[in-house]
Amino acid sequence: MATVESGGVEISYEILNIDSAKVPVFFIAGLGGTRGMFYAQSPVFAAERPVVLHDHRGTGESAKPLGVYSVANMAADIIAIMDDADIATAHMVGTSTGGAIIQLLCLDNADRVQSAAICCSWPKSDAYFLRQFEMRKRVLAEMGTEALTMMTTIALNDPKFFTDHYDEMVEREKIMIATAPPPEVQAERIDAIMAHDEIGRLGAIDVPVRVVGAKNDAVTPSYYSVDMAERIPGAELKLYEDGGHFFFMVHADEFNAEIADFMARNE
């Protein structure tokens, strides 16, 4: 474990297989923000290269001050980690909010991005996205963290996967509720992603990009992925038939193999 100060906020991170000479890969989580989200990816990729994991500002073991949340600041946290760990360039794999962070990295720090996998993300917070997250904030304010967690578990997961892994889901919910940031921090993080809008700049991205989504994702519908892939020059597009927002868990073996191939083709 290590920490680095980024814009006055302490960010907690770790590097698996730190002694490998291969190009590192960052796995950047969604709104939940914690490094444990990639339990199906991190050990697989760490078998052959450094894997960098971190807790977003406002989550996990990172600091949780108020008034410091924006996607731009979250992208700056990645650069701070890279500088602290002496990483010149890295592959970036991000889901949801992590994909929004990667969009900014590709645009504003392209020289640090070896390749980018933008997964279950969105280019601009449209009416559908805004309504979702306005309601999440309302549930949080009126019913609290437990209700919000139970509601979002349903939205994030593929229905069949949820049913088949129900006991596991309940245990994860308990952990998420017990370790959740203060509600006011959660609300500010939601505001940060609602403000995301890079749709007008995507055409300027000049790094290898793979856009990945699922056709039954109810949180970031597949049309977001299609739109991004059309706007980003040379971008590859992959849509899974199912898997929901967490398709990278449902189809972990296939997802891992395809991301590994994408990275290998861009080294």
Residue 154 lies in a domain: no
pLDDT digits (tens, 9 = 90+) for 192-222: 999 999 999 999 999 999 999 999 999 999 9
Looking at residue 129, its pLDDT comes to 98
- The C-alpha atoms of residue 251 and residue 128 are separated, in whole angstroms, by 26
- pLDDT class of 33 with cuts at 50, 70, 90: very high
Residue 176 lies in a domain: no
CA torsion sign for 64, 66, 72, 76 is negative
- pLDDT class of 92 with cuts at 50, 70, 90: very high
Residue 260 lies in a domain: yes
Residue 57 lies in a domain: yes
The pLDDT mean for the chain works out to 97
pLDDT digits (tens, 9 = 90+) for 58-80: 999 999 999 999 999 999 999 99
- pLDDT class of 134 with cuts at 50, 70, 90: very high
Q: Which domain holds residue 72?
A: 2-124+197-264
CATH number for the domain spanning 79: value is 3.40.50.1820
pLDDT digits (tens, 9 = 90+) for 244-258: 999 999 999 999 999
Residue 259 lies in a domain: yes
Looking at residue 152, its pLDDT comes to 95
Kindly list the distances between the CA atom of residue 161 and the CA atoms of 132, 214, 248, in Å, as whole numbers in the listed order.
Answer: 22, 14, 12
Domain count, the chain: 1
pLDDT average, residue stretch 8-33: 98
Looking at residue 58, its pLDDT comes to 98
Quick one: three-class SS letters along 233-247?
CCCEEEEECCCECCH
Burial bucket for residue 254 (CB in 10 Å: 0-12, 13-18, 19+): middle
Residue 59 lies in a domain: yes
Neighbouring residues of 166: CB distance < 8 A, sequence distance ≥ 6:
none
Looking at residue 245, its pLDDT comes to 98
pLDDT digits (tens, 9 = 90+) for 136-195: 999 999 999 999 999 999 999 999 999 999 999 999 999 999 999 999 999 999 999 999
- pLDDT class of 1 with cuts at 50, 70, 90: confident
Residue 53 lies in a domain: yes
